[in-house]
Structure 1
Amino acid sequence: MTPGDLLKLSTQSCVDAAKLLHGLTVDVSPKGTFDQVSNADLEVEAFLRAALTAGAPGSAVVGEELGAATAPITWYVDPIDGTRNFVRGIPLSCISVAAAVDGDLVAGCVLDPFRDELFTAATDTPFAVRSTGLTITPQPSPRPLVLTDIPLPGSPYRGELDLLAELLVKADVRRVYSTALSLAWVAAGRADAAANLGIHPWDVAAGAVLVREAGGVFTEIGHNGFAAGRGEMVGWLTERLEDIVQ
């Protein structure tokens, strides 16, 4: 399958999975000290696993809730990125699917079910946004806009509060608590950069494809961090985060 084929499959699977959320009664259980899991997470991931592996026989899935396996074609699935927002009805969450071929990310899809907004890209398909709601062409700003959740509750790293204080001097900052959605917004030019620590592969796989195919950079930092976007702010964030994770 080509990257374009994988993108079509991931996109249709996301669109179909989002239909499961309409009319769903949400039940929530704790998952660790600072996290939660809902029945929506479990049902959406189960649906995506079935749809993606049926559409690409022999492929495997790395998912947040239901385990991981790898194959020549591997899917990275985050059924609800931003669960803590989702379960409170805060419209800052998304469904995220990415495809990797022989370890290289080649296609990514992020779907915001609240706004019915779809962000897609692949190595042979340009970045695109499909939205049925109000859209504003991003306008220039005298200060860069950075999306970050640093510091996360329970973070093992020291120096994150100092980083946040420095960042507030240099940029406008928004805390979204949905990494995949943040990266999609960076790809769309709504923010200049995004950075986080304490992330997992399924949090960033699709967003990394979107940012790269939109002309930005995505830099992995340590084992669980990243900085992404355009402009000088990305380099500054990369250096500061590398200092923190050492």
Structure 2
Amino acid sequence: MTPSDLLSLAVQSCVDAAALLRDIHVDVAPKGAFDQVSSADVELESFLRGALTAGAPGSAVVGEELGSATASVTWYVDPIDGTRNFVRGIPLSCISVAAAVDGVLVAGCVLDPFRDELFTAASGVPFSVRSTGLVITPGTSPRPLVLTDIPLPGSPYTGETDLLTDLLALADVRRIYSTALSLAWVAAGRADAAANIGVFPWDVAAGAVLVREAGGEFRSVAANAFVAGRGEIVDWLASRVEGIVT
């Protein structure tokens, strides 16, 4: 399957999964001291696994809730990125699916079910946004706009509060608690950069493709952090985040 084929399968699977949200009864359970999992997370990931592997026989899934395996074609699935927002009815969460071929990310899809916005890109397929709502062409401002959840509750790292304090002197900062959605918004030009610590592959895989294909830069920092975006703020953030996690 080509990257375009994989993207089409990811898009259809995300759209079908979003339709299921209207009929799912949401129960919530703790997952660690500061995290949660909902019945919607588990049901959507189960559906996505079935749809993706049926559409691409022999493929495997790396997912947040139901385990991970790899193959020549590997899917990275986050059924609801931003669960803590989702379970409170805060419309800042998304469904995220990416495809990798032989370890290289080639397609990404992020679907915001609250706004019915679909962000897509693949190798050879330009970044695009499909929206049925109000869309404003992003403007510019003297200060960069940065999306970050640093510092997260319970973080084991020191220096995160200092980073946030210094960042507030340089940039406008938004904390939305959905990494995949943050990356989609950077790709769309709504923010200049995004950075987080404590992320997993399913959090960033689709967004990394979107940012890359939109002409931005995605940098992995150590094993569990990233910086993405455009402009000088990316270098500044990367240096500070690397100092914290290493």
Give the shorter-chain TM-score range. over 0.9
Q: Take 1:26 and 1:245, find their aligned partners in 2: how far apart are those partners? A: 35
Partner of 2:226: 226
Q: Give matches, 1:121-200, under 5 Å.
A: 121-200=121-200
Count, aligned residues: 246
Q: Give matches, 1:43-54, under 5 Å.
A: 43-54=43-54
Q: Take 1:58 and 1:9, find their aligned partners in 2: how far apart are those partners? A: 14
Cα deviation digits, residues 111-163 of structure 1 (max 9, x gap): 00000000000001000000000010001111100000000111111000000
Cα deviation digits, residues 20-76 of structure 1 (max 9, x gap): 101322110111100000010001000000000000000000000000000000000
TM-score by length of 2: 0.99
Q: Give matches, 1:225-244, under 5 Å.
A: 225-244=225-244
Q: Take 1:48 and 1:33, find their aligned partners in 2: how far apart are those partners? A: 27
Gaps of 5+ in 1: none
Large movers: runs of 4+ above 4 Å: none
Q: Take 2:139 and 2:245, find their aligned partners in 1: how far apart are those partners? A: 34
Gaps of 5+ in 2: none
Partner of 2:202: 202
RMSD between aligned residues: 0.5
Percentage of matched positions with identical amino acids: 79
Cα deviation digits, residues 198-226 of structure 1 (max 9, x gap): 00000000000000000000000011000
Q: Take 2:192 and 2:220, find their aligned partners in 1: how far apart are those partners? A: 17
Residue type at the aligned position of 2:113: P
Q: Give secondary structure in 2 for the equivalent of 1:100.
A: strand
Cα deviation digits, residues 155-214 of structure 1 (max 9, x gap): 111000000000000000000100000000000000000000000000000000000000
Residue type at the aligned position of 2:96: S
Partner of 1:217: 217
